[in-house]
Structure 1
């Protein structure tokens, strides 16, 4: 299948599904969290597919890889908020766990996408010894 648009990318579709799941999840949080962790989670979650789309629309693979890196950063932020929400008992663990699993899957896909864009065999950020 030829990728004509970012909307053809499985990672973008899964990022969109993750953002929708975060919206649904945060609706169940206590009202006092609306402008606190809920808002931050939504912003981080929506940033993932938005950066994939923006990067895809850029002119170079280097720019695209940069925006995929930004998406990975937003995803790490979201995962941190999800783990904090578990620790704070903001929602049942059974509802947070699947969203965290979705985030981990998107993270693996972003790592693979960035590696393919940079030609890197090892997508690790750790320096070589």
Structure 2
């Protein structure tokens, strides 16, 4: 039998990782807004897409009834956070952002990734509980 949650509407906005992600994206948006057009078109666009994908996947996963589907979406969010780190690094290497900004955004991405992994582990624990019940 496939492990499933009790049908209910859960509010992804209450997740701390979601809230931190929203703040992180706000920082990124403010930074990218100041870039030259050429930099926005490639690196900025990709950075905004990948960073917003983190919380979009998290929200979509949180809306699932099946545990494994939720884990898959969180896994996608994890990948998008890592992709965002690459775009931040490329912006730094191109001289678009300073080292301090790069390190701050990168550290925030690492924190989000750790929180996503912790959430995945929590869900896997819930699956184990359902199976043993």
Alignment length, in residue pairs?
118
Unaligned 5+ segments in structure 1 are 121-129
Q: If the length of structure 2 is used for normalisation, what is the TM-score?
A: 0.82
More helix by share: 2
Name whichever of 94-103 and 43-52 sits farther off: 94-103
Rounded to whole Å, the distance in 2 between the matches of 1:114 and 1:86 is: 31
Could you tell me how far 1:17 is from its partner in structure 2? 1.1
Is contact 2:10-2:62 (8 Å) kept?
no
C-alpha deviation, 1:4, in angstroms? 4.1
Does residue 1:17 correspond to 2:23, yes or no? yes
SS in structure 1 opposite 2:41?
coil
* Structure 2 unaligned regions, length at least 5: 1-8, 127-133
Q: Is 2:68 aligned against 1:26?
A: no
Q: Does 1:98 align with 2:104?
A: yes
Correspondence for 1:43: 49
2:13 pairs with 7, 13, 19, which one?
7
Q: Distance in 2 between matches of 1:87 and 1:25?
A: 16
Quote the RMSD (CA, aligned, Å).
Answer: 1.7
